[in-house]
Amino acid sequence: MNEATQRLCALASELLSSGRVDVVLGFERGSLPLRSRPLHARTPTEAGRLVLDGFSESNLARFLCNLAGQRVGIVARGCEARSLTVLLQEHQIEREQVIIIAVPCVGIIDRRRIEAETPATVLAAAEVEDEILLRTHTDEIRLPRQEYLCRACQACDAPAPQGDFTLGEPLAHTPNCNLADGAGAQSPAERWAAFATETARCIRCYACREACPLCYCPECFVDHSQPHWAPGGVEPKGVQFWHIIRAYHQAGRCARCGACERACPMGISLVHLTDKLNHIVEDLFGPGTGLELDAQARGVAKEEQG
Amino acid sequence: MSATVSHEPPPAWAVTYEQWQAFVDLLCEERTVYAPQAQNGATVYRALAPADKVAWGQPPSTVSPRNVFLPQTETLFRYRSVAGSMRIEPGEAAKPAVLLGAAPCDLRAIAVLDAVYAAGQPDPYYVARRQQTVIIARACVSPRPTCFCTAMGGDPFGSARSDLFVTDLGDRYLIEALTRAGRALAGRQRWPVVCTAERTAASRLAAAARAALPPPDVPPNLCQLPKTLVDSPLWHTVAERCLGCAVCAYVCPTCHCFDIVDEPGCQGCGKRVRNWDSCQFAVYSLEASGHNPRPSSRERVRNRVLDKLAYVEQKTGLLGCVGCGRCVRACPVNIDLREIIAEVRHV
């Protein structure tokens, strides 16, 4: 257990035993290699299971709206903090309800890429400094960590949030890719073809929606039956409609965490679409979705100016 | 479709990979061949187009082959309003097909689908597809760490319900014909008949595959559902982490729920469509009155797990889970059915 994890377990345990929070949202080791999973720690013993690692691929802010009326300690990386800010701006949670345990993030590991590139079955995985260590039946494989980060993490320019508590050292981090770069150079017809091909394998499981911290509507537009806005099923018309409207509902709100893409069982490039929108919004309204706790939501600010 | 009862080992051949490919090419000319295809890390069963490659890879596929018999979206019929009366035109008729590459866990799942869709009041759409589809399954030579078919009474070399059964011996295939339909397909080929050494090699692979899986077992019989289990705090713990998506249900080979909707087009035209549905969605159980008998994630998660472990068995006599591990692999928050089954034993 590394030092930051030890400090996290101690802090979470203290917050729970002192009664300052009812639950600490964090991650625990999963049942599979390369996987850590969300944990709702409600006792100091459960808090002892918390981990901080690059295998934690969900966005914990997604669980906040389910915890109305409870005081929550949330382990927040940059993306969780940005999501939390938007949830506050949109009045979905109360600031007093949340204690933010800020952890500077070194990025989430793209396990799908590792699985695709490793022909043998990965039996165990660990992070050791700037390397990922994999064990298979026959080999031990070392991969450079930085090269195996999720695309959203490669592009992240705010990995170290402000919190009520901060664990670990601040990070020096520069984004090294621009997700929607390719799309700008394509003609509309090429963009459409790429989008149609990418979404053709969607199975409408809505993991993207459910993994998203900002898709919190009690009733999603695709679930309306009267009016029946969008065809269900997997015919292209309905699938494309779903993906376009999902992305549009994120315009100016998307926290750029990439949780949607990591949740997708079909490996659909979802970040590609939202990130294009994010760039457009930033060009028009300036940077910083979810960066400033005191700022108003973008739509509100615009109305008042107008 | 029907297995022949025989004490003799089924007729078998040893074929080279080239001979097998030629056979698959031939099948493609005659029938629609559904085979696993890889798409950015996800393997799904799709109709093979001439240039497509079969992603034999490591079974099971990401999404089960149930879409071959139950397409995720299926037009049941089209309607057209003409001069005040309604004309109905049937949807697409089932065509002769081959399901190529199904794993033994998938074959067991087909028994569950048969019990639901082909017994009692048969579903004509399912039955038409099922009857016209030859099943060429393959032995599961290298199970994944998430596989647990043996813990659910299955076997990585279980060939029941396949017409032809393929075992990859590493340098060639051992092909067994288990039914008349299988013999009819294979009998046209001039394949060399299998020898004892090849049968021995297959037995060795079977033993190795079994050794790589959990010990043979069946989960606790929950048909008499204990109240302690229904009220267990376990469901709250699982539900708290559950996102409420339908990944588990949509990759599952035995899940079989659907939703029927009319999709109106223009000028009185439209179609009636059947889509997959999942009990993990809140709208699945939402009633017209606004009442939802499964109002929270706790009830929905419990329903799915108990469907796999109790309800399907109560209705069909077959276990609702075949231990393919697809849901274990695909769950975005690593909800592991094996862990839940272990907990259920202690409730």
pLDDT, tens digit, for every residue of A5-46?
A: 999 999 999 999 999 999 999 999 999 999 999 999 999 999
The one-letter amino acid code at B17 reads Y
Tokens 């537009």 sit at which residue? A221
Q: Across all residues in chain A, what is the average pLDDT?
A: 90
Query: In a 10 Å sphere around its CB, with 0-12 CB exposed, 13-18 middle and 19+ buried, how is residue B55 labelled?
Result: middle
Question: Are A92 and A236 found together in one domain?
Answer: no
Q: Please indicate, yes or no, if residue A24 is contained in any of the structural domains.
A: yes
What's the CA gap between A15 and B339, in Å, rounded? 29
User: What DSSP line would sit under B88-121, residue for residue?
Assistant: EEE-PPP--EEEEEE-HHHHHHHHHHHHHHTSSS
Structure tokens at A167: 């664990």
Question: Are A278 and A166 found together in one domain?
Answer: no
Check CB contact under 8 Å for B241 and A37: yes
Question: Are A26 and A98 found together in one domain?
Answer: yes
Question: Are A34 and A19 found together in one domain?
Answer: yes
Question: Are A270 and A154 found together in one domain?
Answer: no
Q: Nearest C-alpha of chain A: how many angstroms from B155? A: 20
Chain A residues whose CB is inside 8 A of the B244 CB are: 210
CA-nearest of A17, A22, A72 to A42 is A22
- Is residue A246 less than 8 Å (CB to CB) from chain B? no
User: What is the total count of domains within chain A?
Assistant: 3
pLDDT at B293 (0 to 100) = 97
Neighbours of B93 (CB within 10 A): 9
The one-letter amino acid code at B32 reads T
Q: Nearest C-alpha of chain B: how many angstroms from A207? A: 5
Question: Are A140 and A151 found together in one domain?
Answer: no
- Is residue A35 less than 8 Å (CB to CB) from chain B? yes
Angle made by CA atoms A49, A51, A57, in degrees to the nearest 5: 120
Q: Among A152-156, A179-183, A188-192, B331-335, name the one with the lowest average pLDDT.
A: A179-183
Exposure string for A123-136, b = 16+ CB within 10 A, e = fewer = eebeeeeeebebbe
Neighbours of A205 (CB within 10 A): 27
Which residues partner with A149 through β-bridges? Answer: A109
Question: Are A257 and A127 found together in one domain?
Answer: no
- The pLDDT profile of chain B, 347 residues, written as one tens digit per residue, is 445 555 678 999 999 999 999 999 999 999 999 999 998 889 999 999 988 889 888 889 999 999 999 999 999 999 999 888 999 999 989 999 999 999 999 999 999 999 999 999 999 999 999 999 999 999 999 999 999 999 999 999 999 999 999 999 999 999 999 999 999 999 889 999 999 999 999 999 999 999 999 999 888 888 888 899 999 999 999 999 999 999 999 999 999 999 999 998 888 899 999 999 999 999 999 999 999 999 999 999 999 999 999 999 999 999 999 999 999 999 999 999 999 999 998 88
Q: Please indicate, yes or no, if residue A45 is contained in any of the structural domains.
A: yes
pLDDT at A168 (0 to 100) = 78
Which ipTM value was assigned to this complex? Answer: 0.93
Helix (H, G, I), strand (E, B) or coil at B26: helix
Closest CB to B63 among A203, A219, A262: A203
Chain A residues whose CB is inside 8 A of the B265 CB are: none
Check CB contact under 8 Å for A210 and B243: yes
Say what the pTM is: 0.94
pLDDT at B1 (0 to 100) = 47
Q: Nearest C-alpha of chain B: how many angstroms from A140? A: 17
Q: Nearest C-alpha of chain A: how many angstroms from B253? A: 14
Question: Are A162 and A67 found together in one domain?
Answer: yes
Phi, psi of B270 (to 5 degrees): 180, -175
Q: Please indicate, yes or no, if residue A13 is contained in any of the structural domains.
A: yes
Q: Which residue of A has its CA nearest to B147?
A: A32
Distance (Å) of CA A19 to CA A48, A102, B3: 16, 20, 64
Check CB contact under 8 Å for A233 and B275: yes
Question: Are A85 and A160 found together in one domain?
Answer: yes
Domain that holds residue A230: 188-285
The one-letter amino acid code at A284 reads L
Check CB contact under 8 Å for B62 and A266: yes
Query: In a 10 Å sphere around its CB, with 0-12 CB exposed, 13-18 middle and 19+ buried, how is residue A170 labelled?
Result: exposed
Question: Are A77 and A155 found together in one domain?
Answer: yes
- Is residue A37 less than 8 Å (CB to CB) from chain B? yes
What's the CA gap between A49 and A16, in Å, rounded? 14
Q: Highest mean pLDDT: which of A104-108, A256-260, A268-272? A: A256-260
Check CB contact under 8 Å for B240 and A205: no
Structure tokens at B301: 């998660």
